[in-house]
Amino acid sequence: MSDKESGSKKSKEVVVEIDRGAKANADPGEGAGDAPTQKMAETVARLQSEKEELMQTMIRRQADFENYRKRIERERDEERRRGTERLLEDLVPVLDAFDRALRAHDNPAYEEYRKGLELIYRQLWETAAKHGLERIEASGKAFDPRFHQAIERVETTEHPEGTIVEVLQDGYLFHGRVLRPSIVRVAVAPASASAGQASSIHRAH
């Protein structure tokens, strides 16, 4: 083998060794960027999860606050209503006194006095009604123990049995609830009429 051929062969071997070294050095570098990318993806996923958790916590806190606010408002409304109810309970006897005074002064000599009294009474009643006070309608109505309190039964044939024939004291409602029942007299059939009806029924049988 000549020196020229020997040098050429060595040159080729060197080139092969350089190529092998380049490939060996290049292989580790191909995946070098994968690790940071994966770590960044994990960080983004963790931050997204934390964000979702914080959002859910904020929504729950907001709902809790709204429920608390509504409960406080309901309690305040109930307290105001109870206060108004207590005030109207104390005011009802004043309305009774006005009623008695107006009935007692039908004399024409008291006409001017009566007009002034009626004006004050109307203003007082309108104020009470605005806050939920309502008079129970009783006269001529059928007796209802939920709204009426009977203190006497009146035998009569002029009214159906169980009809309220006289109101002795007005009753009142507060927002539909009985504040004070009406004190009334209630019609009942006379004892003789009841006995006659019973006798007729007995004979029919």
- Per-residue pLDDT tens listing for the chain (205 residues): 555 555 555 455 444 454 554 444 545 455 555 777 888 888 888 888 888 888 888 898 888 888 888 888 888 888 888 888 888 888 898 888 888 887 776 667 677 777 888 888 899 999 999 999 999 999 999 999 999 999 999 999 899 999 999 999 999 999 989 999 999 999 998 876 554 444 443 444 4
Does residue 95 lie within any of the structural domains? no
Does residue 106 lie within any of the structural domains? no
All residues at 6 or more sequence positions from 185 whose CB lies less than 8 Å from its CB, including other chains? 150, 151, 152, 153, 154, 164, 165, 166, 168
Q: Which domain holds residue 39?
A: 3-71
Alpha-carbon gap, residue 174 to 104, rounded angstroms: 28
pTM assigned to the model? 0.58
Does residue 186 lie within any of the structural domains? yes
Does residue 76 lie within any of the structural domains? no
Domain end among 71, 88, 118: 71
Domain count, the chain: 2
User: Token pair for residue 70?
Assistant: 């509504």
Alpha-carbon gap, residue 136 to 171, rounded angstroms: 5
- 166: domain CATH number is 2.30.22.10
User: Token pair for residue 120?
Assistant: 């004050």
Does residue 102 lie within any of the structural domains? no
Domain end among 27, 42, 71: 71
How many CB atoms sit inside 10 A of residue 190's CB?
Answer: 13
Does residue 113 lie within any of the structural domains? no
Does residue 82 lie within any of the structural domains? no
Does residue 92 lie within any of the structural domains? no
Domain end among 28, 54, 71: 71
